[in-house]
């Protein structure tokens, strides 16, 4: 039985839960992190020395780092579907995953924390404007990539769509100046038509507004 640790409102956990849903994998979910705590417990650190969520244990195989988990689960349970088999096609998915982790997610997190999670009186206006523009630039780049294909790696939904796609519910859900990105909006509508995106990613987050703690 697959076990997953991580609070459901954590962005990196949502990516993993979304894929687990898409794969239809039976699993046990354990809340951890944030107000649930538990990340400094020796048993948890023995699984993930970094003390971060998500973590999965699949019959004794323990994996941490959300994208390593996505790749592990897709390779084990979804090869040929969510993670293409051909090296060239797979690299299409991989590059969007890596770009998302290295570039889009940090930019979006700076905006989300600096604007949405920071109490109004503590906000840094110039930094918020810079981060808003940086995000707009990155979503415009995604818009270009999606102009001639419905999903990031081509004609079908793959792992490529999960990391960047997970940002959309929060990006379009916060009151900042959004980029004009019709193709990203159409892709968002395609993702939002998937029951597991709605179930695991479209989780209301207004309880986080103006709150820097968990
Ligand atoms: N690069 C790691 C980042 C993991 C990470 O920072 N997770 C956050 C939640 S999204 C966390 O553990 N925060 C501490 C907490 O929730 O208590 C991954 O992708 O899994």
Q: Which of 174, 164, 119, 118 is nearest to 138 (CA)?
A: 164
Please state at what angle helix 161-171 crosses helix 11-23, rounded to 10 degrees.
120
Ligand 1-lining residues (CB < 6 angstroms)? 10-12, 33-34, 39, 52-54, 65-66
Nearest CA to ligand 1 atom 5: 52
Please state at what angle helix 161-171 crosses helix 125-145, rounded to 10 degrees.
130
Ligand 1 atom at minimal distance to the Cα of residue 53: 12
pLDDT tens column, 29-75: 999 999 999 999 999 999 999 999 999 999 999 999 999 999 999 99
The pLDDT score that the predictor gives to residue 214 is 80
Domains of the chain: 2-77 (3.40.30.10), 87-200 (1.20.1050.10)
The pLDDT score that the predictor gives to residue 155 is 95
Count the Cβ atoms, other than its own, within 10 Å of residue 199: 14
Write out residues in the chain with pLDDT < 50, as ranges.
Answer: none
pLDDT tens column, 62-82: 999 999 999 999 999 998 889
Record the pTM.
0.97
Identify the three-state secondary structure at position 62. Answer: strand
Choice from 6, 9, 10, 166 to test ligand 1 binding pocket (greatest atom count within 8 A of CB): 10
Edge-to-edge strand list for the sheet holding 2-5: 27-30, 2-5, 55-58, 61-64
Choice from 7, 12, 112 to test ligand 1 binding pocket (greatest atom count within 8 A of CB): 12
């Amino acid at each position: 039985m697959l076990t997953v640790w991580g609070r459901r409102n954590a962005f990196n956990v949502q990516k993993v839960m979304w894929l687990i849903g898409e794969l239809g994998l039976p699993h046990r979910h354990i809340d951890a992190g944030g107000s649930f705590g538990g990340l400094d417990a020796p048993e948890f650190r023995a699984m993930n020395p970094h003390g971060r969520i998500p973590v999965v244990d699949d019959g004794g195989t323990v994996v941490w780092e959300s994208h390593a988990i996505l790749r592990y689960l897709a390779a084990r349970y979804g090869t040929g579907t969510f993670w293409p088999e051909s090296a060239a096609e797979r690299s299409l998915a991989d590059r969007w995953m890596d770009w998302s982790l290295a570039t889009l997610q940090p930019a979006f997190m700076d905006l989300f924390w600096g604007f949405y999670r920071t109490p109004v009186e503590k906000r840094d206006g110039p930094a918020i404007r810079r981060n808003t523009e940086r995000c707009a630039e990155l979503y415009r780049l995604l818009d270009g990539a999606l102009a001639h294909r419905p999903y990031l790696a081509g004609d079908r939904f793959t792992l490529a769509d999960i990391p960047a796609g997970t940002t959309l519910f929060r990006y379009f859900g916060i009151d900042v100046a959004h980029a004009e990105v019709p193709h990203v909006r159409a892709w968002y509508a395609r993702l939002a038509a998937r029951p597991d995106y709605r179930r695991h990613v479209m989780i209301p987050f207004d309880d986080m507004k103006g709150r820097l703690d968990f």
